[in-house]
Chains A and B, each alone.
Chain A
């Protein structure tokens, strides 16, 4: 990796002051934030990122905390590690999907340092993007090589002109829970629904996967409690990967169900690894309410979630996979 300067601020203000506010992507690239480094370092080793300055967030007091509010909602600091999130007792009990999603990331070693903010802001895994030699659209080139190439891991939904899948496992869980993200720059603070934080490649900036503006960073996530209703919420994260020991998902589903005497009263579904953003399946959610989990419900939910899917040459299997996953998850969660 290229040599760089290293800054270890102890306050948020100091860190934010170090971030360039220029809109020029080249300027912005000169400074990179680092938390656990599990993504940034791999990018630097492959020379996909060559910052002059690396700003370490881990010394910032309090930024790694998980706070439980009086209403039971959560506030998760950006540098909270995935291990801490996974093991947090309140999260386990009331936000099982989040704990399980965190626990599904990488390996024990990775989770022990990887942060929540870094997980949401990590760059794509598309192997064309990850090869320095290949100048694809993501890197400012003119072509998406995956589109006509080896695309078994790429998107079936929401693709074009880049067909990455969003790699984060936390993102679908947090979106399903209706989390909000707090962004700060030296001059302002913004809070927006996490769902809106992630951006499709067709929405303008192909070289970025989210709405992070110049000089901005993620400071925390607010996760509301699921709305009370008849019955109890159950939630879980279902992830299919080629290799269980550590691997990114082929398809994943963050699922929360409010079940009352066998009938679904509320549902949250968000798919991972099928689209460039966490893919909220709101049509499927609406359709499940009032039904029992049976073959028909599973089939309908699968169809609704995949509406508009356009597989590429080698990823058509993801349709069956996603349908199978939704049906498996609904049955498992409803009967748990």
Chain B
């Protein structure tokens, strides 16, 4: 979905000297927007000329890299506290059932201190639901206690697949049935009439499976509550400030007395907001026992109840006129978000089609609700449109790249066109032997190339309060409660401060991940950087001003005559002689013992909104074994002003890796008759590993000259799998309309094509 909500308007006239802008607002990782009033642009702060930047827009190594790779970084899972109990939860292995457990037997296990049921009457309403919890002095005792529950499940009817959910006699997932949240726009009759007029029409049903976030650190918390009036929650979360309220409610404390600590966290990808199931259970147990509680999901639990990316089934029809101008699109989409709504951007995704009909609905099943997952709804939509575009192109005998270029929307056309062409050059499209038709299976190993594009918002808002401190020893510190999901927040925070003071990066320390520091938004919608970086910049500028004012005051001169340049402090000239300069270290010695501190908030002029990207993939398909090897991926992404080029390239590459994995391997498998998840582990739920890595070319689009910071981490994942599927089709003519692209599907596709060819031959 594009950031701007259709028809949204500012609430009233802007005050004098102010203007309204629309900024993203993320709730639980789902994006919407709101209007805020900001200063007119004329007096607003700027990042300065790109050419003048010395630290930013360069490759910065992660400031916390060494801690992470040497194991010194302490993640929430690593927290050990005196008197802490270990809690394990029992997740229902069946979708709908009544679970009967033996709590007394669990309590008799040596070391077990608490065993409780979590569902009234043991009624389970979806696969993986938490049924019971056992707490013990050691993790082993907790597991023994869990086994001692000897659960018995009285199974009831369920629906775990789309077909089961849509059957006439399907057990109901929601009171209102198994279909809901319909979104419809356009006129079907008109679109069908337009399709009938089209010279070229492609039709297809495109499916993507449920994908798991699979963060290395599972969901969980350590609740430090030992009775009394205060508590600390060590949480693996994407939002330092999304936890205290709920935790306080559970613990019977006031929100202000609950501290949340997230110095590091092992990945979230959109699934870690709020106290969540483990946090809620842990707080209740901690409250009852007055002891700290460690509760992290096991890997299996994580697959069952920590969310996922919703699957989708899309019925598409796309028509073009003789010249290759798209004319009409009909899209009927089922979102498969378990008992949640699922997400789906929209159709047409990015491309311009004048007449369109779009009807999306959620089909509910008795499985865990989907959650936000890196660019919610976009990869699904991308797969549908990019696949059918290629099918249409080859039907017409046209180059799919040209078809794309001819049908980009007006807004952003130049950006996507430039990016697509750059991808095409880098991937070798113009030298590629078969560009207007898929390869004929002549060689045992065929090579193919495919393309796809992305769109995202990535803007920021007035969310963060940042403090910058200067100490007498000339060290600088930047502080904010925000969390770092692994994207490199600490590094650019330090980088911005180093830039403002013209000091080396290493002289700036960062403190983040604590609710005792300035407030910050949760990391969702790629809004962290565009919200935080401006506040860091303003705080640093304020601290610099305060420094010069303090020096001027002590000197009895005017602050405006003082400056900071080349890492030195320039004082006004005294008597004869030129300007009087001193080292930064000398200047800081003149500060009061407590040093200087200044804070800053967001300035609209420093952040932008709206990014574009394009990716291309080159694959080799082994026609004998159906194996697909991605040999090269190219990603081009704009992002306004790059803060840390290395981190940006790393995000882009990470997005391509995750998309490659989605393209080739990832898929949740639930046995349709038994309702059991068959691959809730890292062996059967396959994720790409080191040997699957192709050559990556991750390019920041420097033709985007906006001097504003914009987030881009999410869109990096949007187009890769679509480009790979298109490359496979281009290689050998097999169009797999259902991810993942596993060898069975390729071989079945090849066999089908051989069969068709043989029939044709026989018919002659």
Contact = CB atoms under 8 A, between A and B. Distances in A.
B691 A131 contact: no
A184 to B, nearest CB: 32
A145 B750 contact: no
A128 B678 contact: yes
Interface string A235-278: 00000101111110011000000000000000000000000000
B689 A327 contact: no
A243 B626 contact: no
Interface centre among A47, A243, A250, A315 (most CB of B within 10 A): A243
Given A134-B674, A324-B625, A325-B625, A245 B692 contact: yes
Contacts of A244: 629, 689, 691-692
B665 to A, nearest CB: 6
Contacts of B147: 2, 47
Interface centre among B444, B673, B676 (most CB of A within 10 A): B676
Given A127-B684, A131-B678, A149-B673, A240 B689 contact: no
B53 to A, nearest CB: 39
Interface in B641-665: 664-665
Contact of A152 (B144, B688, B744): B744
5 contacts: A130-B684, A243-B689, A321-B625, A324-B625, A328-B622
Given A131-B676, A317-B747, 16 more contacts: A127-B678, A128-B678, A131-B93, A145-B674, A149-B674, A150-B669, A240-B627, A242-B664, A242-B686, A242-B742, A243-B688, A243-B692, A247-B686, A314-B744, A315-B744, A321-B625
| Interface secondary structure of B, over-half rule | loop
Contacts of A251: 625
B678 A320 contact: no
A127 B674 CA distance: 13
A133 B750 contact: no
Interface of A: 1-3, 47, 107, 127-128, 130-134, 145, 149-150, 152, 240, 242-247, 250-251, 314-317, 320-321, 323-325, 327-328
Contacts of A145: 671, 673-674
A-B pairs, top 5 by smallest CB distance, nearest first, are: A245-B689, A324-B624, A244-B691, A317-B744, A127-B678
A324 B623 contact: yes
A243 B686 CA distance: 7
B266 interface: no
A138 to B, nearest CB: 15
Contacts of B674: 133-134, 145, 149
B624 A242 contact: no
A316 B750 CA distance: 13
B180 interface: no
A145 B676 CA distance: 12
A240 B625 contact: yes
B743 interface: yes
A321 B626 CA distance: 7
A244 B686 CA distance: 11
B349 interface: no
Nearest to B665: A243
Contacts of A317: 626, 743-744, 747-748, 751
A316 B626 CA distance: 13
A17 B346 CA distance: 68
B744 A3 contact: no
Nearest to B746: A317
Interface string B746-764: 0110110000000000000
A298 to B, nearest CB: 10
Contacts of A323: 624
Contacts of A132: 93
A75 B14 CA distance: 87
Contact of B679 (A127, A245, A246): A127
Interface in B429-447: 444
B8 interface: no
B392 to A, nearest CB: 28
A47 B151 CA distance: 14
Interface in B363-401: none
A130 B684 CA distance: 10
B209 to A, nearest CB: 13
A132 B625 CA distance: 32
B676 A3 contact: no
Interface of B: 93-94, 140, 143-144, 147, 444, 622-627, 629, 664-665, 669, 671, 673-674, 676, 678-679, 684, 686, 688-692, 742-744, 747-748, 750-751
Contacts of B691: 243-245
Nearest to A106: B683
Nearest to A47: B147
Contacts of B624: 321, 323-325, 327-328
Interface centre among B625, B629, B686, B691 (most CB of A within 10 A): B625
Contacts of B744: 152, 250, 314-315, 317
Contacts of A250: 743-744
Nearest to A320: B747
Nearest to B669: A150
A174 B592 CA distance: 78
Contacts of B742: 242
Interface centre among A152, A245, A314, A316 (most CB of B within 10 A): A245
Contacts of B143: 1
Given A127-B678, A131-B676, A245-B690, A150 B625 contact: no
A240 to B, nearest CB: 5
Contacts of B688: 243, 245
Contact of A246 (B623, B664, B673, B689): B689
A304 to B, nearest CB: 18
A37 B665 CA distance: 27
Contact of B625 (A134, A243, A316, A328): A328
B623 to A, nearest CB: 7
Contacts of A321: 624-626, 743, 747
Interface centre among B624, B626, B689, B748 (most CB of A within 10 A): B624
A47 B690 CA distance: 31
A149 B670 CA distance: 11
A208 B735 CA distance: 41
Contacts of B679: 127
A2 B144 CA distance: 7
A150 B444 CA distance: 29
A324 B678 CA distance: 29
A317 B742 CA distance: 11
A251 B140 CA distance: 39
Contacts of A3: 140, 144
Nearest to B690: A245
Contacts of B140: 3
A104 to B, nearest CB: 11
Contacts of A314: 744
Interface centre among B679, B689, B743 (most CB of A within 10 A): B743
Nearest to B143: A1
A275 B331 CA distance: 43
Nearest to A131: B676
B92 to A, nearest CB: 10
A320 B751 contact: yes
Contacts of A150: 669, 671, 678
A239 to B, nearest CB: 10
A145 B672 CA distance: 11
B204 to A, nearest CB: 21
Nearest to B93: A133
A132 to B, nearest CB: 8
Nearest to A132: B93
A157 to B, nearest CB: 17
A145 B671 CA distance: 10
A257 B471 CA distance: 75
B750 to A, nearest CB: 7
A325 B629 CA distance: 16
Contacts of A149: 671, 673-674
A328 B673 contact: no
A102 B684 CA distance: 21
Contacts of B629: 244
A320 B750 contact: yes
